[in-house]
């Protein structure tokens, strides 16, 4: 039982931190521009595919460096030449624009790389078990994933709270006009944040590609969950996104690891139903079975009881 | 876009040559066949690969040899149902409005079930405009049992038939003392789990089922938490009906966890899966399927595969049954001298047909289920003449069961339309 718990925690940590890399960029972009970037997970997918192509000729490590850079530049260009023009027409237009961009990116990926799963591999140097516990291996690559995401979180937090540029960004979130009047180039800051946000998503793609498999549906699988995190954490709150990511990662992981379900609950209550009961599916459902939808349940609960999210400061 | 343009140029060139040669055959209406499968989204890789295969089968087997029914060409019309039952309804409407009367569909038994129900209802209400469903891959037994329909024909062995063979093979392995079953949470996944448990209990009561798990289809990001459970259950082997991204992610997680046990699957090959598994999956990944992969029994099928590879270097003939299904539908059209779905259906019933692999297969009239030999293959790079994903790895068939031994009874009570 202990082994399951320990591994579930580690798995949850890996998933949670990965989700955070996506959510951090999304939440920053939202708080600055007021745009929910629907294409965010698509940049994550682009990161994985770029890194895959780079890794074929130049190896994994160069992919790790260059793929996020390419994605970041691409993201910045999308902001500069796409989003900024659409901005004049209001938020709905921006929303629709990012929605369209998501489709465009997915189709482009299918066009250039094809629909089949890509054999994107983790580097050989990390191809060993970091440690073995109760006969189960924890791969070094997963340890590396945890390390990278933690490093990103710390750097991001330091930059935002302790550097000059971070202070300007924070000011631009709440008082863009004042910041502009002080002589700062707000559109440039926006572009920068969008670029960095998408680069982070790209980086997440680079390190997730080898373990979560690189295929054209990878954005869709992760996309909706990232929005859930941003809303649960509180729109615009980096710390909130961090907590929500870990919460959801661990929640899912523990739910899968558990082996309880409705039958246990019914046993406890001393109730039983016939096998041909019309709601039989409901009476036999188990927690692992519904694990992937638990985050959405949590979202509903948060929206009901704390609409601003865990650490959200937004007031109506 | 460029590709399409090139093709249309090529086509016009072809038409011009034909005309210039003096009108060999009069321009006849093509026989249009719909191919309805996911061409976008999570399972796009399987759908698009199937589309390439049926288009190739139509061109190579029929169109390049003067067409069918005295010179009519086969035109495959792709319809993207995104593997969703709702989208399938919309695409079915579209097929009907375009006058398509034959629909090939394979991915997801949930979709096949929806389509079968929709078609039965539509045909009852629209006599004379009937639609025929050619199911080449959806293997929930119910489609040829309790929910069987006169308008539905299945060209793949259903899950119970496949598991019969697979569990026979597993039962021979005395090292296996415990089994873990994991599958997608919908009709097909449940059939696989229930049947595997039942058959293993019959054949090897000493094998303990240490776990049976379902996960939402196409929703799992990371299978590691599931694999953690498999490891701690101490299972000696895993059975799964997963396909597409769900299959490759599961296999990768099992391999990455260092768990060295055999995995018995339905669909763990091709479309990027074989390449992704590579050396790590060698001799561990097993598949139950029809039509042997290596060795290929006949020169005709070898030629067919080579010609396919020449035209689609990045794809493989993953589902030879698509060619079988198309060939049998054409044979039925020729036999009935008609493209009317009712005539085709009557002609298909109890048809015996020799495949490119030289094997005689039989379409049972009672429930419209195909019977052909089944094979268990292993993922390896030894003795592979035709590899998958150009990876050097492929499937080698190691256990064979002839068609007669795969025959199972059916509970089908078919309602036949009167003509």
Quick check: B11 pLDDT over 60?
Answer: no
Quick check: A131 pLDDT over 50?
Answer: yes
Q: What's the average model confidence in pLDDT over A19-41?
A: 87
Nearest to A43 by CA among A22, A15, A20: A22
Across A215-224, B112-121, B377-386, least confident range: A215-224
Name the residue among A119, A211, A220 with its Cβ closest to that of B272: A119
Buried-exposed string B256-289: b where 16+ CB fall within 10 A, e elsewhere: bbbbebbbbbbbbbbbbbbbbbbebbeebbbbbb
- Put simply, the answer to whether B225 touches A217 (Cβ < 8 Å) is no
Peptide bond preceding B341 in cis form (omega within 30 of 0): no
Q: What's the average model confidence in pLDDT over B43-65?
A: 93
Can you name the residues that pair with B178 across neighbouring β-strands?
A: B208
* Rounded Cα–Cα distance for residues A162 and B354 (Å): 75
Q: Which of residues 305-324 of B touch A (CB under 8 A)?
A: 314
- Put simply, the answer to whether A117 touches B257 (Cβ < 8 Å) is no
Please provide the average confidence, as pLDDT, over all residues in chain B.
Answer: 90
* Rounded Cα–Cα distance for residues B101 and B122 (Å): 12
Q: What's the average model confidence in pLDDT over A136-149?
A: 88
* Rounded Cα–Cα distance for residues A11 and A143 (Å): 10
Q: What's the average model confidence in pLDDT over B30-46?
A: 89
What pLDDT was estimated at residue A173? Answer: 75
Share of chain A above pLDDT 90, in %: 34
What pLDDT was estimated at residue A287? Answer: 84
Quick check: B8 pLDDT over 60?
Answer: no
What pLDDT was estimated at residue B196? Answer: 95
Give B154's pLDDT tier (boundaries 50, 70, 90): very high
Most confident of A152-156, A251-255, B114-118: B114-118
What pLDDT was estimated at residue B1? Answer: 42
What pLDDT was estimated at residue B36? Answer: 96
Q: What's the average model confidence in pLDDT over B219-246?
A: 88
Quick check: B21 pLDDT over 60?
Answer: no
Residues in B closer than 8 angstroms to A225, CB to CB, are: 221
Quick check: A299 pLDDT over 80?
Answer: yes
DSSP element (H, E) containing A124:
none
Quick check: A183 pLDDT over 90?
Answer: no
Nearest Cα of chain A lies from the Cα of B248 at a distance, in angstroms, of 7
Domains and their CATH numbers in chain B: 28-157+299-371 (3.40.50.2300), 160-296+373-406 (3.40.50.2300)
Higher confidence at residue A129 or residue B372? B372
What pLDDT was estimated at residue B23? Answer: 44
- Put simply, the answer to whether B41 touches A220 (Cβ < 8 Å) is yes
Give A237's pLDDT tier (boundaries 50, 70, 90): confident
Give rounded-to-5 percent helix, strand, coil for chain A: 75, 5, 20
Residue listed under structure tokens 């992981």 = A253
Cα distances (Å, whole numbers) of residue B394 to B159, B268, B360? 23, 11, 25
* Contacts of A254 by beta carbon, 8 Å cutoff, 6+ apart: A8, A12
ipTM of the complex: 0.78
Domains and their CATH numbers in chain A: 2-305 (1.10.3470)
Across A68-82, B49-63, B257-271, least confident range: B257-271
Share of chain B above pLDDT 70, in %: 94
Q: What is the DSSP string of B206-261?
A: TSEEEEEEEE-TTT-S--HHHHHHHHHHT-SEEEE---HHHHHHHHHHHHHTT---
* Rounded Cα–Cα distance for residues A52 and A71 (Å): 13
* Rounded Cα–Cα distance for residues A177 and B345 (Å): 72
Residues in A closer than 8 angstroms to B52, CB to CB, are: none
* Minimum CA–CA partner of A222 in chain B: B221
Q: What's the average model confidence in pLDDT over B339-346?
A: 95
* Rounded Cα–Cα distance for residues A132 and B267 (Å): 31
Dihedrals phi, psi of B362, to nearest 5 degrees:
-130, 130
Quick one: tokens of A141?
Answer: 């690559």
Give rounded-to-5 percent helix, strand, coil for chain B: 45, 20, 40
Quick check: B321 pLDDT over 90?
Answer: yes
Give A316's pLDDT tier (boundaries 50, 70, 90): very low
* Rounded Cα–Cα distance for residues B118 and A180 (Å): 61
Quick check: A69 pLDDT over 50?
Answer: yes
* A183 in Cβ contact with A27 (< 8 Å): no
Give A136's pLDDT tier (boundaries 50, 70, 90): confident
Quick check: B14 pLDDT over 70?
Answer: no
Residues in B closer than 8 angstroms to A8, CB to CB, are: 225, 228
Residues in B closer than 8 angstroms to A218, CB to CB, are: 245
- Put simply, the answer to whether B232 touches A8 (Cβ < 8 Å) is no
What pLDDT was estimated at residue A238? Answer: 84
- Put simply, the answer to whether A213 touches B245 (Cβ < 8 Å) is yes
How many other β-carbons are positioned within 10 Å of the β-carbon of residue B29? 9
What pLDDT was estimated at residue A314? Answer: 59
Dihedrals phi, psi of B372, to nearest 5 degrees:
-155, 170
- Put simply, the answer to whether A215 touches B216 (Cβ < 8 Å) is no
3-state secondary structure of B381: coil
Instruction: Work out whether strand B152-154 and strand B132-135 pair parallel, antiparallel, or are unpaired.
Output: parallel
Quick one: tokens of B117?
Answer: 């129900």
Across A106-115, B51-60, B365-374, least confident range: A106-115
Cβ-Cβ contacts under 8 Å between A and B: the total is 134
Share of chain A above pLDDT 70, in %: 98
* B271 in Cβ contact with B43 (< 8 Å): no
* Rounded Cα–Cα distance for residues B78 and B52 (Å): 10
Instruction: Work out whether strand A136-139 and strand A129-133 pair parallel, antiparallel, or are unpaired.
Output: antiparallel
Cα distances (Å, whole numbers) of residue A132 to A13, A147, A179, B228, B268? 17, 18, 53, 12, 28
Quick check: B388 pLDDT over 70?
Answer: yes
């Amino acid at each position: 039982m202990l082994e399951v718990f320990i591994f579930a925690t580690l798995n949850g940590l890996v998933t949670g931190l990965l989700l955070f890399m996506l959510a951090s960029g999304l939440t920053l972009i939202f708080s600055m521009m007021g745009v929910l970037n629907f294409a965010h997970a698509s940049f994550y997918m682009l990161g994985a595919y770029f890194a895959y192509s780079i890794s074929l000729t130049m190896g994994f490590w160069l992919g790790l460096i260059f793929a996020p850079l390419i994605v970041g530049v691409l993201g910045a260009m999308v902001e500069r030449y796409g989003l900024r023009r659409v901005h004049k027409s209001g938020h709905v237009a921006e929303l629709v624009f990012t929605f369209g961009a998501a489709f465009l990116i997915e189709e482009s990926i299918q066009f250039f790389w094809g629909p089949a799963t890509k054999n994107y591999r983790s580097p050989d140097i990390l191809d060993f078990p970091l440690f073995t516990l109760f006969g189960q291996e924890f791969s070094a690559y997963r340890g590396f994933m945890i390390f990278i995401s933690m490093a990103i979180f710390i750097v991001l937090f330091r930059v935002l709270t302790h550097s000059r540029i971070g202070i300007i960004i924070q000011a631009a979130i709440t008082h863009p006009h004042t910041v502009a009047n002080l002589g700062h180039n707000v559109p440039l800051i926006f572009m920068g944040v969008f670029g960095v946000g998408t680069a982070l998503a790209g980086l997440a793609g680079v390190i997730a590609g080898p373990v979560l498999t690189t295929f054209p549906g990878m954005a869709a699988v992760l996309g909706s969950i990232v929005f859930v995190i941003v809303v649960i954490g509180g729109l615009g709150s980096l710390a909130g996104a961090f907590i929500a990511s870990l919460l959801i990662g661990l929640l899912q992981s523990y739910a899968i690891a558990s082996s309880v379900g409705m039958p246990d609950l019914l046993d406890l209550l001393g109730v039983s139903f016939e096998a041909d009961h019309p709601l039989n599916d409901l009476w036999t459902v188990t927690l692992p079975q519904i694990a992937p939808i638990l985050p959405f349940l949590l979202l509903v609960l948060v929206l009901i009881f704390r609409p601003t999210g865990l650490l959200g400061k937004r007031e109506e | 876009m460029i590709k399409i343009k090139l093709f249309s140029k090529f086509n016009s060139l072809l038409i011009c040559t034909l005309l210039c040669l003096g009108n060999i055959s009069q321009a006849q209406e093509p026989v249009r066949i719909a191919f309805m499968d996911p061409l976008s989204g999570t399972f796009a890789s399987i759908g698009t690969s199937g589309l390439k295969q049926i288009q190739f089968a139509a061109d190579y087997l029929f169109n390049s040899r003067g067409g069918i029914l005295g010179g009519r060409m086969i035109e495959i019309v792709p319809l993207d149902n995104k593997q969703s039952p709702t989208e399938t309804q919309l695409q079915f409407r579209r097929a009907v409005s375009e006058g398509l009367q034959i629909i090939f569909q394979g991915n997801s038994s949930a979709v096949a079930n929806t389509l079968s129900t929709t078609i039965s209802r539509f045909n009852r209400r629209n006599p004379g405009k009937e639609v025929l469903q050619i199911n080449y891959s959806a293997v929930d037994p119910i489609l040829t049992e309790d929910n069987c329909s006169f308008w539905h024909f299945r060209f793949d062995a259903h899950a119970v038939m496949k598991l019969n063979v697979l569990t026979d093979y597993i039962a021979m392995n005395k090292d296996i003392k415990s089994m873990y079953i994991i599958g997608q949470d919908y009709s097909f996944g449940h059939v696989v789990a229930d049947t595997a448990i039942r058959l293993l209990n019959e054949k090897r009561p000493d094998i303990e089922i240490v776990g049976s798990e379902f996960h939402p289809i196409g929703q799992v990001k990371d299978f590691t938490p599931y694999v953690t459970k498999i490891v701690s259950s101490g299972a000696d082997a895993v059975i799964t009906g997963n396909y597409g991204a769900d299959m490759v992610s599961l296999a990768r997680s099992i391999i990455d966890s260092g768990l060295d046990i055999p995995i018995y699957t339905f669909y763990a090959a091709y479309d990027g899966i074989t390449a992704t598994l590579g050396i790590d999956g060698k001799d561990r990944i097993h598949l139950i399927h029809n039509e042997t992969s290596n060795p290929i029994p006949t020169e005709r099928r070898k030629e067919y595969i080579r010609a396919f590879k020449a035209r689609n270097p990045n794809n493989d003939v993953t589902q030879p049954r698509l060619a079988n299904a198309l060939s049998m539908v054409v044979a039925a059209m020729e036999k009935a001298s008609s493209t009317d779905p009712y005539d085709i259906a009557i002609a298909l019933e109890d048809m015996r047909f020799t495949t490119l692999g030289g094997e005689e297969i039989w379409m049972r009239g009672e429930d419209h289920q195909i019977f052909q030999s089944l094979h268990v293959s292993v993922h390896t790079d030894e003795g592979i003449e035709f590899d998958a994903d150009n990876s050097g790895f492929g499937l080698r068939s190691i256990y064979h069961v002839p068609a007669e031994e795969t025959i199972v009874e059916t509970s089908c009570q078919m309602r036949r339309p009167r003509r």
